[in-house]
Amino acid sequence: MREKLQELRELAINSINNVIELTELENLRVKYLGKKGELTQVLKGMGKLSEEERPVIGQVANEIRVEIEEAMNKVKENLKNKTLTEKLTKEKIDITVTNRVKKLGHRHPLLATIEELEDLFISMGFKVLPGPEIENVKNNFDDLNSPDNHPSRDLSDTFYITEDILLRTHTSPVQIRAMKEYGAPLRMVSAGRTFRFDDVDDTHSPMFHQIEGLVVDEKISMANLKYTLDVFIKELFGKDMKTRYRPHHFPFTEPSAEVDVTCLSCRGEGCPVCNYTGWSMELLGCGMVHPQVLENCGIDSEKYTGFAFGMGVDRITMVKYGLKDIRLLFDNDNRFLEQF
């Protein structure tokens, strides 16, 4: 019987060590240690043994059981580790492959100018409002008192989407929106894109930027307009800057003016940049809000007056950084943009 047990032991351990799958191991457990298993069967024959032999064989049988169990546990552990390693290798992600360097950008010079202008006006008590680039004809022209035959309404000047919807030709429609929404008194600026049917050259682009300003209150006069714009131009370009107001016409302001400022290249001496005039021309348009425009927006023009101005942000940025070509601002060429 002892030999039979040893034989069993060797067979069992051998097959256990050759196992390559966990399910096989379970089958072997049943085969040797289960209720009807081979070891159990052998032990059942113990009744035939003598009194002295019985405990000795019993002990041997127990030792074998423990040995088989230990062998099984060891193989089980190994198999588990092996499957885990296989799984990890199979599912491994190579994080070194797409190691793209992310470059941190900075503000576009146009946006930097817009934010500088907005900060300046905020410090003077203006609120900053947004406005849509796609506008209706009523806000862009009608309520701004622009006559039906005004040349800017022409198809050759304005991008129409339908008869009533267009790409705004200036930021002035935000005046209308602001007055209708907030009434008087009011102090606002609004910056953004504007569109005109222009051919591209070094100073023109069909898409450009404006910032609009509007003040409506009791007793607002041309003096307030001039003071506000002078303060802002000195803050933006320097204390020694002078301004020049030339009479002009806009349908929505009366009287209206165009403003020139001292040429930044020569500081007023006269140079090729300013055609030897000493002035940077047409930096902004302005005037006293036409009473009809106030009335169109439900504001009592007997009680309230106002001034408004609009300027080209691209022009200001070009003057500020000494740029000679507006296209540089829209090309998105890093060699240009990285200089700022």
Burial of 82 (0-12, 13-18, 19+ CB in 10 A): exposed
Q: Is 306 in the site for ligand PHE (CB under 6 A)?
A: no
In whole angstroms, give the CA distance from residue 24 to residue 22. Answer: 5
Cβ neighbours of residue 70 closer than 8 Å, sequence gap 6 or more: none
**Per CB under 6 A, which region of 43-51, 102-110, 215-223, 280-288 contacts ligand PHE?**
280-288
- 193 C-beta neighbours (distance < 10 Å), count: 14
- Residue for token pair 């304005």: 158
Return the H-helix or E-strand segment holding 58: helix 53-90
**Per CB under 6 A, which region of 153-161, 233-241, 264-272, 285-293 contacts ligand PHE?**
285-293
Q: Which of 109, 131, 285, 306 binds ligand PHE (CB under 6 A)?
A: 285
* Shortest distance in whole angstroms from residue 248 CB to ligand PHE: 8
* Shortest distance in whole angstroms from residue 123 CB to ligand PHE: 21
Report which residue's Cβ sits closest to ligand PHE: 310
Residues 245/253, Cβ–Cβ less than 8 Å? no
| Bridge partners of residue 128, in order along the sequence | 189
Q: Is 286 in the site for ligand PHE (CB under 6 A)?
A: yes
**Per CB under 6 A, which region of 99-107, 198-206, 302-310, 321-329 contacts ligand PHE?**
302-310
- Which 3 state secondary structure label does DSSP give 198? coil
Cβ neighbours of residue 318 closer than 8 Å, sequence gap 6 or more: 324, 326, 329
Query: How far lies 233's CA from each of 26, 162, 264, 290, in Å?
Result: 89, 38, 12, 24
Q: Is 287 in the site for ligand PHE (CB under 6 A)?
A: yes
Q: Is 232 in the site for ligand PHE (CB under 6 A)?
A: no
Which residue lies nearer to ligand PHE by CB, 107 or 249?
249
User: One symbol per residue from 162 to 191: x for binding ligand PHE (CB under 6 A), - otherwise; what is it?
Assistant: --------x-x-------------------
Q: Tokens at residue 196, please? A: 């005109």
Which residue lies nearer to ligand PHE by CB, 9 or 168?
168
* Shortest distance in whole angstroms from residue 181 CB to ligand PHE: 18
* Positions in 243-262 near ligand PHE (CB under 6 A): 250, 253, 256
Q: Is 308 in the site for ligand PHE (CB under 6 A)?
A: yes
DSSP 193: E
Q: Is 294 in the site for ligand PHE (CB under 6 A)?
A: no
In whole angstroms, give the CA distance from residue 204 to residue 215. Answer: 29
Residues that bind ligand PHE (CB under 6 A): 170, 172, 250, 253, 256, 285-287, 308-310
